[in-house]
């Protein structure tokens, strides 16, 4: 497949053909003409931009929510990069599982792929979501550790400073953090690490 040479602030932008191939590869593990579950953990909680038939609170293991992706656009600038969430390896994560009805899969998933996969920061992955009653096979987007936007290990001070000060055309990183905290709390999920981080970010902004 020929790769696009269009560049973005975080790397090569994937072509429509590449996005389609990525989606098709992911769906090879899925039974055709059936509903699909999607596990979300960040902005898709408070800004889902997709039609779903049902939502459940669930937990996955082997991945945790972390500010681990640099963004020079959207929530930051090239001079002051922002940070956004990804699923990094290790630990566990509580989030929401959305059920996309079979009739909507062909229209909703391509739109989702264009939003989440366009610059290759994430990798689509099948995970098992535990909702307390069932195990739901679901698609989620984990961080691509080989991507140049991946932060690797950064200090808490760096994380706080970036979120407290970075802003772009989509708004500030601090708003992104607070919207995620509030979105989680609205569905009954308290993420103590994000709560602690939000307090430290607000403290940094008030200095």
pLDDT bracket for residue 11 (50, 70, 90): low
- Write down the residue that tokens 């600038």 correspond to: 77
pTM for the full model? 0.90
- Other C-beta atoms within 10 Å of 51: how many? 13
Give the model's pLDDT for residue 7. 34
Return the pLDDT at 12.
Answer: 66
The sign one gets for the Cα dihedral 21, 25, 26, 30 is positive
Instruction: Give the pair of three-digit tokens for residue 143.
Output: 């961080």
Contacts of residues 132-140 at CB distance under 8 Å and 24 or more positions apart, as own/partner, are 132/58, 136/37, 136/56, 136/58, 136/97, 137/37, 138/36, 138/37, 138/38, 138/39, 138/58, 138/97, 139/26, 139/36, 139/37, 139/38, 139/39, 140/38, 140/39, 140/40, 140/41, 140/60, 140/63, 140/87
Catalytic site residues? 116
Higher pLDDT, 16 or 2: 16
Per-residue model confidence (pLDDT) at position 4: 30
Q: Are residues 202 and 64 in contact, defined by beta-carbon separation less than 8 angstroms?
A: no
Give the pLDDT confidence score for residue 118 in this predicted structure: 74
Tokens 């990094």 locate to 88
142: nearest Cα among 34, 61, 196, 47: 61
pLDDT of residue 197: 97
| 111-159 tens-digit pLDDT | 888 888 877 899 999 999 999 999 999 999 999 999 999 999 999 999 9
CA distance 159 to 85: 11
Residue 5 has pLDDT above 80, yes or no: no
One-character DSSP codes across 42-104: SHHHH---S--SEEEEEEEEEEEEEEEEEESSSS--SSS-EEEEEEEEEEEEEEEEEEEPHHH
Q: What is the pLDDT, as a whole number, of residue 1? A: 27
Rounded to 5 degrees, what angle do the CA atoms 42, 124, 172 make? Answer: 30
Please indicate whether residue 154 or residue 6 has the higher confidence score (pLDDT): 154
Question: Would you say residue 9 has pLDDT above 80?
Answer: no
> 39-92: per-residue pLDDT in tens?
999 999 999 889 999 999 999 999 999 999 999 989 999 999 999 999 999 999
Interstrand relation of 36-40 and 7-8 (parallel, antiparallel or unpaired): unpaired
Angle between helices 156-165 and 173-186 (to 10 degrees): 100
Q: Look at residue 3 in the predicted model and tell me its pLDDT.
A: 31
Determine the pLDDT at residue 2.
29
* Gap between the Cα atoms of 130 and 57, Å rounded: 9
pLDDT digits (tens, 9 = 90+) for 146-163: 999 999 999 999 999 999
């Amino acid at each position: 497949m020929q790769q696009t040479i269009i560049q973005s602030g975080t790397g090569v932008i994937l072509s429509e053909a590449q996005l389609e191939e990525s989606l098709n590869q992911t769906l090879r593990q899925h039974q055709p003409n059936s509903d699909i579950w999607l596990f979300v953990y960040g902005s898709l909680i408070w800004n889902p931009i997709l039609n779903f038939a049902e939502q459940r609170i669930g937990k996955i293991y082997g991945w945790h929510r972390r500010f681990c992706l640099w963004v020079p656009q959207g929530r930051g600038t090239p001079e002051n990069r922002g940070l956004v969430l990804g699923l990094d390896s290790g630990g566990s994560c509580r989030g929401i599982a959305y059920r996309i009805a079979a009739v909507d899969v062909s229209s909703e998933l391509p739109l989702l792929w264009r939003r989440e996969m366009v610059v290759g920061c994430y990798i689509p992955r099948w995970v098992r979501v535990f909702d307390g009653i069932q195990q739901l096979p679901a698609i989620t987007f984990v961080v691509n550790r080989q991507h140049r936007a991946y932060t690797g290990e950064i200090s808490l001070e760096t994380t706080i400073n970036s979120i407290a000060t970075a802003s772009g055309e989509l708004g500030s990183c601090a708003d992104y953090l607070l919207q995620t905290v509030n979105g989680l709390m609205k569905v009954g999920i308290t993420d103590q690490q994000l709560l602690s981080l939000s307090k430290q970010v607000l403290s940094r902004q008030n200095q």
